Amino acid sequence: MTYMKKLGYMFGILLIFTLVASACSTTTVTTSEEDIVIPVQVANVETGQLKEEKKIIGSAAPNLQISVYSELSGKLAEVRVKKGGKVEKGQIIAVLNQGDYNNTVIQAEAQLKSAKANLAQAEAGRSSSIVQTENQWKQAKAAYDSAKINVDRMKSLYEEEAVSKQQLEQAENGLVQAEVSLNIAKESYENANRTENLAVIRAQLETAQAGLNNAKHNFDKTYMKAPASGTIVQLGADVGELVSPQMPVATIIDIQTIIVNAMLSEDELKYAQAGEEIDTYLNVFDQKQKGTVTFVSPIADTQTKNYPIEVQLNNQEETIKPGMIVELSLQDTETAEEVLVPVNALVKQGEEVFVFVVNGDTVEKRTIRIKEEGIEKASIIEGLQEDEVVVVKGQMNLEDGDHVRILDGGGN
């Protein structure tokens, strides 16, 4: 075989091989396109309440913030706490100079002691006077009775002309004098039994006691005490400085319980009710925590037209500080039972909304009507039923009737 013949033979074989290979390649591609299967993730259609979640921002505040004032004016003698220190309710924070107030107590005690002595003396004198005047009254009564008997006897004798008229008159004069003495003795006894003088002295004693109580009360006011337990965050005066009832000596806060203050719009009022638990989130600590709604104002703020809300958080470790930003997650729990579908199953093209419903190993493109769309789920008016399965991932590549393969990680 010549060289040219060999070359032509080899070229022919190469051409046939190329054509066969090309034909085989075309056949393979066609078969692959007909049998294509798209991987998807799915979720079940459910019925339930569309608990729509709203997130609002609030600011942390102490559960208690109170200033401590002196009830009296004077120089500060002691400060017994430090800024940042813990105090218990009733603990002494500072003390005023007590000199004048102590002297007032001493004087009031002396006045009370004197009033007590006067009363004791008056009561003892009254008892002695009663006994003495009672004896005098008895003696005067006996003398009067004797004089009366004597006058009666003298009258009888005078009628019998046994005594003279002068003797009868002397007896009658004696009766008059005895009666006067009796009346004087009776009046003395009655005066001795009167309590008016004792009442005056007892009133003086009560006044002295009140004066002592007031002096002690003022002395006790020289101690400025913590009205509640908490942390000292401010001291308003140093030792030696003059303080007055208008000047705060210290400020105490309690942050073991935190109050989150926030605002709700008119439309958001339905998401929070007093007594309900809600989720909170502190971005600074990446911390989630349950809180309790303690107050929802029935009156809107005059400037913002929003409604103040307070949420209480447990803060025993005192990690949350006043002023920190707290995110509140509020949910509407008043909705009725509805057909719910995951939001990520929805495909929107213009005004049309549809999903892909899985039937065996194929999908059906189905138009739906949405009532309300939340963050994670949407409520459906028309187009879906409970327990149907919809594609939630991979649907952007689907057409009606496509074959699918369900991957793990879906919602069913």
When computed from its CA atoms, the radius of gyration of the chain, rounded to whole angstroms, is 54
The domain ranges of the chain are: 38-51+336-406, 54-58+250-331, 101-218
Name the residue among 385, 378, 388, 382 with its Cα closest to residue 411: 388
CA dihedral angle for residue 286, residue 287, residue 293, residue 296, rounded to 10 degrees: -20
| Residues 28-72: tens digit of each pLDDT | 333 344 568 999 999 999 998 876 678 899 999 999 999 999 999
- Coil vs helix vs strand at 304: coil
pLDDT reported for residue 66: 95
Which residues lie below 8 Å from residue 172, measured CB to CB, with a gap of 6+? 151, 154
User: Helix and strand tally (H, E) in the chain?
Assistant: 4, 22
117-173 confidence digits (pLDDT tens): 888 877 777 777 777 777 887 888 888 888 889 888 888 888 888 888 888 888 888
Phi, psi of 364 (to 5 degrees): -120, 125
CB 92 within 8 A of CB 223: yes
Mean pLDDT, contiguous 10-residue spans, the chain (412 residues): 40 41 40 70 89 84 94 93 94 94 93 87 75 80 87 85 84 85 78 71 89 94 94 93 92 96 90 90 92 95 94 94 94 74 92 94 93 85 92 91 82 46
Helix (H) or strand (E) holding 55: strand 53-69
pLDDT, residue 31, reads 37
Q: Does domain 54-58+250-331 sit in CATH 2.40.30.170? A: yes
Q: CA–CA distance from 323 to each of 58, 62, 146, 217, 318 (Å)?
A: 9, 9, 102, 39, 13
Q: Are 404 and 362 in contact (CB under 8 A)?
A: yes
Q: What is the pTM of this model?
A: 0.56
Determine how many CB atoms are found less than 10 A away from the CB of residue 291.
22
d(CA 405, CA 389): 13
CB 35 within 8 A of CB 303: no
pLDDT at position 29 is 38
pLDDT score, position 52: 65
pLDDT for the residue 36: 85
β pairing state of 223-225 and 242-243:
unpaired
CA 132 – CA 124 distance, rounded (Å): 13
Classify domain 38-51+336-406 at the CATH topology level: 2.40.420
pLDDT for residue 409:
60
